[in-house]
Amino acid sequence: MYGKLLMMQRFYLDWNATSPLWPEVKDAIIKALDSVGNASSIHQEGQQARAIVERARRTLARAIDAPAQSVIFTGGATEANNQVLRTHAKYTRKPFIVCTSVEHPSVIEVVEELGKQKRVRTRMIKVDRLGRLDLEDVKQALEDGATLVSVMFANNEIGNVYPVKEVVELVHQYDAICHVDATQAFGRLPLSFRELGADVMTLSVHKMGGPKGVGALIIKEGFIQESMLAGGHQERGRRPGTENVPAIAGLDAVSKLVQEKQPLWREQMERRRQYLLDGLLAKLGGTIELRGDQDARLPNTLNIAFEGVTGEDALLSLDLAGVSASSGSACTAGSIEPSHVVLAMGFDSAEAKRSVRLSVGPGEGVEDLDGAVDVIVSNIRRLM
C-alpha cells in the first residue's frame, strides 16, 4: 500500500511559482560547482570563474537582444526590483513612483513602503475586471509629475500581458523613467530589450527551467542605475558581492536554451494550456470562470474559479491527489489570503479566494495532462 502511495503520479502545474531545471542547466551548475575561484581574483582560478560570468552575460544579452554591458547580475528579480525602486526614491530630487495595482509584491510592497516616507509620492494604477490597464491613467500620473513608472511585462497570477512598449513610449514623452519587470515573460514570449526601449528591465530565470536565486537588471545605455548595497566593486559597482558562479552558469545554460527554443516552447505551452482548459471545460462546463484578459496573455497560465469551491480547499485536495497548483497569493498563518491582483480587478474577498492558478511548462505531448484533468475534475466535483 505504501509502495502504491509513494508511486502516485504527480502533475506539476505551478511553473509561474518556479520550474524544474532543464537537464542541460543542471549539468552546467554541477560543473561550475567545481570552480574554486572568486571571479574578482587575478589568479587562474579567479579568471576561470570570471570567464563563466562573462560568458553568461553575453548569452543572456543575446537571449533578450540587449548589449552585454547592459546586464548586471543580481540575486533574483525581487532584489532587482527593490534596487530599481529604492535607489530611485533615494537619489531622485522629488521622487513620484507609479506602479500598477497588479504588480508582483516585490514591486507593490516596496512602493507602499516608500510611500510612507514624506518625501516620496506614490500612486497605483487601477485595472479593470479583466486586469487590463488604462493607458489614460498612466498618462494622468505622468501629467501629475510621475518620475518613474513600473509596469510588468506579464502578470504572474492571471497571466495578462501588458502593453509595455506603449507604456515605455508614453513615459518617455514625459521624460520619466520606465521600469519593466519581465520575470514571467523570459523564455515564454519574444523579448527584445532594444525594441522595448525601457530604461531598466528586471528578470530572473527560475520560471523557465533556470536556477533560483539569480537574476538580472538590464540597463539602457546612459541610464544611471545606482547600487542598493555597499561593500564591493562587483558588477561595475552596481551590485556588490561575490558572484554566485554556479547559479550564473545555470543562467548561461538556460539563456542558451531560450535563444534556441523560445518560439517552440511558446507553441508547446499554448497547446498544453488549451488541452488542459478543454479537458476541464468538457467535464465541468459552465461551473468554470476564467479570469484575466484572454486576448493578451501568457501562453502557459490559467486562472480559474470553480463555482462554490474555495481556492484553499481546491489546492489542498489537489495536492493530496497529486496536482501541484497555486492560488497565486500568499499563504499567511496557514490560510490563503485573497490575491491582491484579483481584488484589484474588482472581485470581493470571497470571490478572490476562489482563484486557482494552473501554469504549465513546455513539453512535446499533451496526453500526460489527461491524468491532471481527471484529478482536478474528480476533486472539484467532490468539493462543489
Positions that interact with ligand PLP (CB under 6 A): 76-78, 104, 106, 152, 156, 181, 183-184, 204, 215
Compare residues 114 and 309 and give the one whose CB is closer to ligand PLP.
114
Handedness of CA 77, 186, 167, 126 (dihedral sign): negative
Least CB distance to ligand PLP at residue 110 (A): 11
122 vs 156, beta carbon nearer ligand PLP: 156
Instruction: Closer to ligand PLP by CB, 106 or 317: give it.
Output: 106
Q: Backbone phi, then psi, for 132, in 5-degree steps?
A: -90, 150
Burial of 281 (0-12, 13-18, 19+ CB in 10 A): middle
Q: Are 290 and 276 in contact (CB under 8 A)?
A: no
- CA 243 to chain centroid: 22
**CB atoms inside a 10 Å sphere around CB 369:** 22
- Identify which of residues 77 and 356 has a Cβ nearer to ligand PLP in the complex: 77
In the complex, what is the shortest distance from the CB of residue 202 to ligand PLP, in angstroms, rounded to a whole number?
A: 7
Nearer of residues 50 and 207 to ligand PLP, judged by Cβ: 207
Three-state DSSP state, 15 = coil
Q: Choosing from 331, 368, 381, 382, which is the catalytic residue? A: 331
Q: Provide DSSP, 335-381.
A: EEPPPHHHHHTT--HHHHTTEEEEE----S-STHHHHHHHHHHHHHH
CB of 367 vs ligand PLP, minimal distance in Å: 29
The cell numbers describing 121, all together, are 509620492
| Cα 191 from Cα 189, distance rounded (Å) | 6
- Per the annotation, the verdict on 99 as an active-site residue is no
Residue type for 16, please?
Answer: N
Measured from the CB atom, is 78 or 234 closer to ligand PLP?
Answer: 78
Task: Please answer whether residues 8 and 324 qualify as being in contact, where contact means their C-beta atoms are separated by less than 8 angstroms.
Answer: no
Strand partners, 356: 304
Cα dist. 200→50, 219, 322, 327 in Å?
Answer: 24, 5, 40, 29
Q: Which of residues 264 and 330 has its CB atom nearest to ligand PLP in the complex? A: 330
The least CB distance from residue 148 to ligand PLP, in Å, is 16
Using CA atoms, how far residue 211 sits from 27, 29, 247, 255, 370, in Å, is 12, 8, 6, 11, 29
Cβ of residue 25: shortest distance to ligand PLP, in angstroms? 15
Specify the residue, 15 or 275, whose C-beta has the smaller distance to ligand PLP: 15
CB of 51 closer than 8 Å to CB of 39: no
| 187 φ, ψ (degrees, to nearest 5) | 80, -10
Min dist CB 155 to ligand PLP, Å, is 7
- How far is Cα of residue 300 from the mean position of the Cα atoms in its chain? 12
Catalytic residues: 331
